[in-house]
Structure 1
Amino acid sequence: MLLSASRGFGALLCRRYSKQHPHVVVHPEIRQALFEKQPIVALESTIITHGMPVPQNVETALKVEQEVRQHRAIPATIGILDGRIKVGLTQEELLRLAHKPREQLIKCSRRDLPYVVAARQSGGTTVAATMIVAHQVGIRIFATGGIGGVHREGHVTMDVSADLVELGRTPVAVVCSGVKSILDIPRTLEYLETQGVCVASYQSEGGVFPDFYTRDSGCKVPCNLESAADVAKLLRSWQELNLRSGVLIGVPIPEEFAAEKSDIAAAIEVANEEAQTHGISGKEVTPFMLSHIASVTKGRSLQANIALIKNNAAVAAQIACALAAGSVESGESNKKPIVVGASILDLSFRVKDTHTLQTDGATYKSEAKYAAGGVGRNIAEGIYKLYGDVNLISAVGSDHFAQMLRQLMPAALQSNLIVNAQQTTSLCSVIFDQLGDCKLILGDMDVHESITSAALEDKQQLFSQAPLIVMDSNISESAMASTLQLAQQFEIPVFFEPTDMFIAGKPFQLPAKLTRHIRLLKPNLHELKTIVEAITGQSVTQAPEKDMEQAELLNQTKTLLQKIDKHFNCIIATLGNHGVLISIRSDAESDQSKLLALTPSGEHTTLFYAPPKLQQIVNDSGAGDSFCAGFITALLKQHTLDECVAAGFASAERALLSDSAVAAEYIQEGDSFEDYFQHCLANMQRRRI
C-alpha cells in the first residue's frame, strides 16, 4: 500500500530533483528511501575509477554495497556517466564506469564537476564531490576508505586536498579510516580544526585517530565514540546546531588487517621517492602512491584497503540506522503538519433516477461506491500526496469497516490511528443527486470520542515541531481543548476546518486564550453563519446563500466576515462554484508568512477569487478538503497568497473530477508542484471587495 500510495509523491520527488538539480539523476530506490526517511549511506566511486585495479575495483564496490544492505541500510554509490551525475549507480552502470579506459575517466572534485557535466564526460567522485552531491539530495552519511589531506611538504607546496575544505562547508558525516597514511596527518588535523570540522574516533583505544593502514596515527582527537548510538547522538546535535560543516568519524582498520607501522612507513618512503622522481603531482599523487605501496607490500596493502572500506561501510550503515531510529524517537521525522480529525468509511449513492430526489421514503435507482473519507483524513491524504509529510491523529474501531478503511488509506497515515475495539469504525452514507451535488449525509461518529485528552498528550512529541495543526470539528470539545492547549504550549498556529454547520461553532465555546491559536479557517456559508453566532453571541437573521446574485452574495458574506475578522489571520469563505472570498490581515497580502503568525491581527483586506471554469463534475464530496490540502501545502512551501489559492483551486479541481473524495493523483507526470497550479493561477479572477 505504501509504495502505491506514495507513487504520486515519488514521481513529484523525482521531478523536484530534476528541476533543482537538472544534472543529477537519483535512482528510484534512493528517492523512495529519502521520502520514507530510511537509512541511506552514500558511497564514492573513485575506488572504481582510480583507487583500485580491475577486477578488484568492481568486486570491492559491489561488496561494499552488500555490506551496507546487510546492516539494514541502503547504499547510494555516486558517479558520473556521460555528464549525468548518478546517485545510486545500478550494477550495469557501475560496470560501465569500471570498464571505461582510465584515460577517459576524470577524478572529479568540486572544481571538476562543471567541466565533466558540460563536456558529457565520465568520472569517479572524490570525497569532496561525493559530499556535495549527497548533501544536495539529502543523504547525511557517507562511507569511504580514507580522506585526502595535507600532502607531505604541503606547507611548502600548498598541496592540500579539497576534501578538507569541503568538510568545512558541507554538512555530511564522513565515516572513514582516517587520513591516508601517505599524507601529513598532524598538519591535516590542524587544518580540519581551522575549518571547524568536528573530528572523532570510533572505538579507538586511547582516543587516537587511525591512519588508514594502521590503527594508531599517534594523534589524539577531541572525542572517542563507543557505539553507533553515540555517533547518532552526536550527529543529531550537529544537525540541530546547524553548523553547516561536516563531521569526520575515524574508524580504525580491523585489527587482523592492520599493517606494522614500520613496514608501511618504509613502503611510503619508497613510493614518495618514486612519485618525486617521476614528477607525479596534484590529484595523481594519491592513486600513484597507493598503487606503488600495493606493489611494494606484494598486495597486502590492497587487501587491507578492501577490508577497511567494507568495515567503514558496515559502521556507516549502523550509524545511519541509529540516526534514523533516533530521529523518530526525537520527533525529527515529525517536522510536518498534524491533522487531528475524523477518519470515515464513506458509502456513497449517486441517484440515477430521473425523479427529483426527496426524503419521502421512496426507492431511487443509484450507483453505490465506498471510499475512505472523513474531513480530517481527506485533508491529511491530500497534504500527504502534495506536500509529502503529514501526521494524522484519528480514531477507528477494530472491526471489518476498519480493515476496509485501512486498505483504502496510505500506510503512512496509519501510524498514529487510535484504535478502540469497543467502538464501530465511523461510517457515513452520502447521497448525491444526478448532478453530483451532495444532498444528505448520515453518519455514525461515536468512535471519534476516542480522541481523548490523554491520547493527544501521548502524541505530544508529534506536536513539538509541527509547523501547523489542522483540526476538524468532528472531534469532541475536550479533544479540541487539548489540541489547542498543545498549540499554545508549542506556539503552533491552527487551521480549523468547521466540517458541518451544526458543529462549526464548537471550538468557540472554549476560552479565548485557547481559540486565539486558531489563525486560519475555511467555512462554507452555513458554517460561517454558525461561527459568527458563536463568537458574537448574536443571531444572524440574514445569511448569504450561494444561489444569490454574485454582487449581493459577496456583500453579505463580507459583512459577516467583518464581524469576526479581527480574531483570525485568514478566513476562507467558500462560495460554491462562485469561488472563495478571503479576509486576511492586511500585512499578509504582501507577506504570506503573516498568515501563520500568532500575533493579533489588525486591519483586514477582503479579496474575491473566482476559479477557472470546469465543464464536468464527477462528485463534490471532497473538493473543499482538497482545496485545504492545496492551500496548506503552498502556504508551508512559502508561496504567495495568490499561489496558495491557485493551488487550492487546482486540488479542488482534481477532486471534482475524481470518483473519490481525494484524487488518486494530484500532480501529473512531468509537473512540479509549482507547475501544478499554474493554469489556475493564470485563469482565476481576483478582485478586492
Structure 2
Amino acid sequence: MTSDQLIRLTQSSGKENTLKLSRRDLAYACGMRLTGKKFSGGTTIAGTMLLAHLAGIKVFATGGLGGVHRGAESSMDISADLTELGRTPVAVISSGCKSFLDVPRTLEYLETQGVGVATFADGREGKVDFPGFWSRDSGVISPLTISDEKAAAAIIHAQFSFPIHSGLLLANPIPEAVSIPKAEMDSVIKKAIKEAYDAGATGKDNTPFVLAKIKELTGGKSIPANRALIENNVKRGTMVAKELRRLEFAEAIEGGPHVDRVYPAMTVASQANTSAGPQTSDAVPSVSPGNENIPEMQSPVDILVAGALAIDFSCDFTPLPGRPSTSPILHTSNPARITQTLGGVGHNVAKALNLLGSSVRLCSAVGDDLSGKAALAQLRTEGLDTSSIQTLPSSGSRTAQYIAINTTTKDLHLGMADMSILETPHTDFDSTYLPLLAQANPTHLVLDANWDPVTLHAWLRAARTLRIPVAFEPVSAAKSTRLFSPPPANSQSAFPTFPNNLVNLITPNTHELHALHAHAQQSGLLSQTPWWNLINSLNIPSTGARAAFSAIAGAELVDKGVPQMSVQLLPFCPTVLVKLGAEGVLLTMLLPSSSALLRDPEAQRWVVSRNDGGGGEQGVGGVYMRLFPVPETIAQEDVVSVNGVGDTFLGAVVAGLVAGREVEDVLGVAQRAAGLTLRSAEAVSPRLRELRGEI
C-alpha cells in the first residue's frame, strides 16, 4: 500500500464504513462499491489467505490465529480462519491462536479439517507446547515439531506438490524476552472472559472486547509483546519463503516431476494489499544430467544484469595543428588520446545501478587471463558483487575487449568489439546461468545483446517462466536482431506477443530500431495472427496516424519512420525507448485497458490511439507516445566521452522502475544521469550518486 492508503486506512478506524473482512464479507464490500458505497477494511486470516492464494502467494505471516471459542459447544462460535485453513493452500505462520480461546478444541478442529500443524522448536529438544500467543507455552503439546525454516519450507513444498487443497499452520513461539508467563496470562484471561460474558460481548465483538481487557489487566504489557511476536513472525515467514523459493528453483533446475509453473514464494503481512492472480508461462528449460550441485545461496538482489564485461579502450582523435579534419583518416595511423577503463554494456548498466543505490548483481564471464584478473579486481574496487562472474579457461576464451574510435567532437566514428566470450556458447545455460538467476531471485532482469542467440533466448524463456520483467539493451544494429533470431530448432512461437511479451522494455537508438524492425518484417513476425490482432485492436486509422505522430515526435522523425516502427514492435515489447541523441528520447508504450493514463486529463495529448471497447481478450487500452527533449544542452567543450551514455540511461530507468516509479516519470532523471556520464572520462560517471534522492 502507498503511504496515503495506509494513512487513509488507519484514520478510518472505528468508523461505520470500516469493516472486518473475512471470506464472507469480500463480495459484500466489493459489490457495494459498484453501487457507489465504498468501504475500508482489515482482512482476517481467512480473508488474507483467500487473497494470497489468488495472487499465487504461498507463505503468510500474521499475529495470532482465530479458533474455537470457549463454550463453543453451546455458541458454535468457531473462527472462519480454521475452515479457511481446511480449504485454501496457504502456509500460515502465527504465534498459535490467542490463548483466551479453547486451544485443545482448536487443534481438534484443525485435525478434522485436515490441516497440518507444527511448532518451531527454537532449539528445544523433544516435544514442545503449541504456543499460547503472549506465552511460549499453552499447556497443550503441539501435534508436530519442526527444527528450522528449511524444514518448514520442505513441508510446504511437499504439501503443495500433492493435489491437496488445505493449508498449513506453522506456530512460531513469541520471543522469550517478551513472553508473559503462562500462569500470569491464565489469570488475566479468566478475568477478561468473565467481563466479556457480563457485558454480553459475543460473536465478532467478543475478540476486540477481550483484547482490550487483556491490555488493561496486564498494565499494557500485552502491547509490546504483541508487536514483538508479529515482527518475529514476519522475519520467520520471510526466511521460510526464501527457503521455499530455493526449493522451487532447485526442482525447476533439476527437472522435477511436479513443476509445471514456478511461483515466486513471498510473504504477506496481515491486511496486505495483494495483486492479480498468476499468469501461465513457458516451462523452464530442461537441465543437463549431472547438475547435482546448486551453488551456495547468495543473498537476493533487486536487479540481475546479464551481459558484457569488457576492457574498454577509448581513442579520441586529436589531429595535428592546422589539420581541419574532425574524423580520423582511414588506412593510416592517427594521433589520439587513448584511455583504458572497465566497461562492457552489462558492467556499465550494473555500475550505474549500483551508484544510484540499487541492489544489483552482474552476471557475465571473463577469461582466465591477465585482463580477466584485472577486471575482477576492478569490479571489487567499484563495490560490485563478483559471485556471478564466470571465469572460463584461457585456452578457449578471451576476456572481452572494446575499442572506440571517436571524432574530435567525441562522437563514435568506429567501434571494434571482441565479445566472443559471450557470443560463443562456452557453457551450458541450465547448469551455469540458470542457478545464478535462481540465487539472485531478482525483481528485474537486464539483458544485453552480446549473448549468442541460443543463450539470449534461454535467458528470456527463464525470465518469462519466473515472471521477471526484462529490460533489453540492443548494443548495436548487427547484434540487436538476436532478439528475433531464435535457434534453428525453434519456431516462430518462440516470440510471444502482448500480454506475455518477448521483453518488457527496450532501448534502441534509431539504427538499432531500423535493424530490429527490418529483421522482424523479414522473419514474418509482422504478419502473424497474434501480431495483427493486437495492432488492429489499437484502432489506428487505415490512413495511419501521421498527424498525431507528427504533433508529438515531429515531422522529421515521422519521415524516418521512427514512431511507426516503434508502434509495430509493441506487441513484442510494450515499452520502446528510442534514444535520439541531442533530440532526446521517444517513449512509445502500450497501455493496458486498466491504465490510469487513459483517464488522466493531463496525459490525453500523448495518447495517440485507444481501444474504447476494453481491449478484448488482450486487455489493450491504447498507445502512449511522448517525446522527452534533453533536459539541458551540453556545450561541445564539456563533452568528454560518449561511451557508456546509453548504458547509464538504461541503468537509471531500471533503478526508477525498481523504486516503484512509472517509466514516464523517471526519464527526466535518467537523461540527466546520461548527461553526467557524457561529461565524464569514465564509462559511468561517479557523480550518479548525486541523483540517488531523485530516483
TM-score, length-scaled by structure 2: 0.53
User: Residues 564-585 of structure 1: CA distance to partner in whole angstroms, max 9, x if unpaired?
Assistant: 6476345433221112345555
The offset of 1:310, in angstroms, is 13
2:671 corresponds to 1:649: yes
Change (3 A) 1:154 1:434: farther
Return 5+ residue gaps in structure 1 as ranges. 1-15, 24-109, 112-127, 292-305, 539-548, 674-689
Alignment of 1:444-483 (within 5 A): 444-449=418-423, 452=426, 454-456=428-430, 458-460=432-434, 469-483=445-459
8 A Cα contact 1:481 1:514, kept in partner: no
Change (3 A) 1:581 1:258: closer
Change (3 A) 1:482 1:150: closer
Q: Among 513, 517, 529, which residue is 2:492 paired with?
A: 513
SS of equivalent residue, structure 1 residue 430: strand
Partner residue in 2 for 1:38: none
Change (3 A) 1:327 1:152: same
Partner residue in 1 for 2:339: 368
Partner residue in 2 for 1:395: 365
Percent pairwise identity: 21
8 A Cα contact 2:346 2:447, kept in partner: yes
Cα distance in 2, alignment partners of residues 384 and 592 from structure 1: 31
Q: Among 410, 420, 425, which residue is 2:392 paired with?
A: 420
Partner residue in 1 for 2:476: 500
Q: Among 153, 171, 186, which residue is 1:249 paired with?
A: 171
Change (3 A) 1:492 1:575: same
The offset of 1:273, in angstroms, is 7.9
Partner residue in 1 for 2:118: 200
Cα distance in 2, alignment partners of residues 436 and 273 from structure 1: 81
Change (3 A) 1:385 1:172: farther
Partner residue in 2 for 1:522: 507
2:411 corresponds to 1:437: yes
Cα distance in 2, alignment partners of residues 442 and 568 from structure 1: 30
Change (3 A) 1:590 1:273: closer
The offset of 1:272, in angstroms, is 6.3
8 A Cα contact 1:566 1:601, kept in partner: no
The offset of 1:474, in angstroms, is 1.6
Specify the code of the residue in structure 2 equivalent to 1:427.
Answer: Q
The offset of 1:528, in angstroms, is 3.2
The offset of 1:462, in angstroms, is 6.0
User: Residues 320-343 of structure 1: CA distance to partner in whole angstroms, max 9, x if unpaired?
Assistant: 766545544545586966543211
8 A Cα contact 2:301 2:442, kept in partner: yes
8 A Cα contact 1:397 1:424, kept in partner: yes
Specify the code of the residue in structure 2 equivalent to 1:217.
Answer: G
Partner residue in 1 for 2:150: 229
The offset of 1:662, in angstroms, is 3.1
Alignment of 1:113-192 (within 5 A): 185-186=103-104
Change (3 A) 1:234 1:643: farther
Specify the code of the residue in structure 2 equivalent to 1:344.
Answer: A
Return 5+ residue gaps in structure 2 as ranges. 15-43, 53-58, 199-208, 220-224, 250-263, 266-299, 497-501, 524-552, 599-609
Change (3 A) 1:258 1:383: closer
Change (3 A) 1:379 1:387: same
User: Residues 463-512 of structure 1: CA distance to partner in whole angstroms, max 9, x if unpaired?
Assistant: 68877654322222332343345467667775442212343334444366
Partner residue in 2 for 1:116: none
Partner residue in 2 for 1:104: none
Cα distance in 1, alignment partners of residues 216 and 239 from structure 2: 36
The offset of 1:637, in angstroms, is 6.8
8 A Cα contact 2:656 2:666, kept in partner: yes
Partner residue in 2 for 1:217: 139
Specify the code of the residue in structure 1 equivalent to 2:495.
Answer: R
SS of equivalent residue, structure 1 residue 662: coil
Partner residue in 2 for 1:344: 310
Change (3 A) 1:237 1:553: same
TM-score, length-scaled by structure 1: 0.54
Cα distance in 2, alignment partners of residues 253 and 591 from structure 1: 45
Partner residue in 1 for 2:582: 577
Bigger shift: residues 373-382 or 190-199 = 190-199
The offset of 1:184, in angstroms, is 5.7
Specify the code of the residue in structure 2 equivalent to 1:454.
Answer: D
Cα distance in 1, alignment partners of residues 689 and 62 from structure 2: 36
